[in-house]
Structure 1
Amino acid sequence: MYALISLFLSLISLLLMAGAIYEVWLSWGDAALFVPSLLDGIALVVIGMAVFDVAKFLVEEEVFLAREQKTPGSQRTTLIKFLVVINIAMLMEALVFVFSAAKKDISLLVYPTFLLIASVLLVISLGIYQKLTQGERS
């Protein structure tokens, strides 16, 4: 079941990235649409990469390593890897939103700022989690 879900997620991520390329291609000749289309394309590629990373994570952890006995240390490492992937996607999306909001309306910068703050809080939380669980045996 996890293999099918991963395959489906991979297909969705490829479609997102192909849609980004297609959108940029359509706006190639129109100077007014090209830059916004590039920013939208970057956002779609970032989301597609994040979805693909989740699919890869599911395949690695639930298909290939599902039969192995999972120790607390390996589960902790798995959780940290997964949250780092999500955090990277959040940061990249926030940066795209910053550039997009700066071009449209400066008052819209509050939303990507909240996303950046959430990402920083996730990094801090991961650091605290690692510190608190570093004494556990693998």
Structure 2
Amino acid sequence: MKCVSNWIGKSVYGIISLSLGVISLTMMVTAIWGIWISAHEKTLFIKALLDAIGLIVIGMAVFDVSKFLLEEEVFHSGGTKSPEKQRATLIKFFLIIAIAISLESLVFIFDAGKQDISTLIYPTFLLIAAVFVVIGLGVYQKLTRDERKEV
């Protein structure tokens, strides 16, 4: 029975992972298509580039999550993970999130700076949130590393 449950779980995670991969690739293709259209129509090329950067960054983050799910939930060899493996997995996942937030906030800052300087506060808060994610990740690493040395 446990074998059937594991197979169903791996199948569901595999479908989710493949779906996320297809969605992320579609986002990236859409971004490139937007640049292509904008270049040929000669309209708002810089806006199309900034939009494409945003879509590609989000697509990259979604693809990384897809790959992460595929590696950890589908191809994982089974059994319980050691605390060190769990820690490395969690750090990798939060690093993906931190990179995505940082890149997206930079795109928003450039976009807001070109349109209306008064809207620059919102992407700045997003960048500050990215900094807090990185600080939190550093604190987590420090706390778990000290705990491992004591045990």
Does TM, normalized by the shorter one, top 0.5? yes
d(CA) in 2 for partners of 1:58, 1:114 = 29
Contact 1:13 1:48 in 2 (8 A): yes
Provide TM-score, normalisation by structure 1. 0.94
2:98 paired residue number: 87
Structure 1 position 131, deviation (Å): 1.1
| Aligned residues between the structures | 138
The amino acid across from 1:12 in the alignment is I
d(CA) in 1 for partners of 2:42, 2:33 = 16
Q: Which of 52, 55, 61 is the equivalent residue of 1:50?
A: 61
1:75 aligns with 2:86: yes
Greater length-normalized contact order (CA 8 Å, ≥ 6 residues apart): 1
Runs of 4+ that moved beyond 3 A = 29-32
Contact 1:23 1:41 in 2 (8 A): yes
Q: Which of 16, 38, 45 is the equivalent residue of 1:34?
A: 45
Find the residue that maps to 1:37 and give its secondary structure: helix
- Superposed CA offset, 1:6-53 (max 9, x none): 000000001000110111111113444111011001100000000000
d(CA) in 1 for partners of 2:77, 2:100 = 26
d(CA) in 1 for partners of 2:139, 2:56 = 31
d(CA) in 1 for partners of 2:130, 2:30 = 27
The amino acid across from 1:13 in the alignment is S
d(CA) in 1 for partners of 2:98, 2:13 = 23
Give the unaligned 5+ runs of structure 2. 1-11
2:3 paired residue number: none
CA radius of gyration, larger in: 2
Provide TM-score, normalisation by structure 2. 0.87
1:117 aligns with 2:128: yes
Identity %: 57
Structure 1 position 66, deviation (Å): 5.0
1:102 paired residue number: 113
d(CA) in 1 for partners of 2:70, 2:117 = 41
The amino acid across from 1:128 in the alignment is V
Find the residue that maps to 1:29 and give its secondary structure: helix
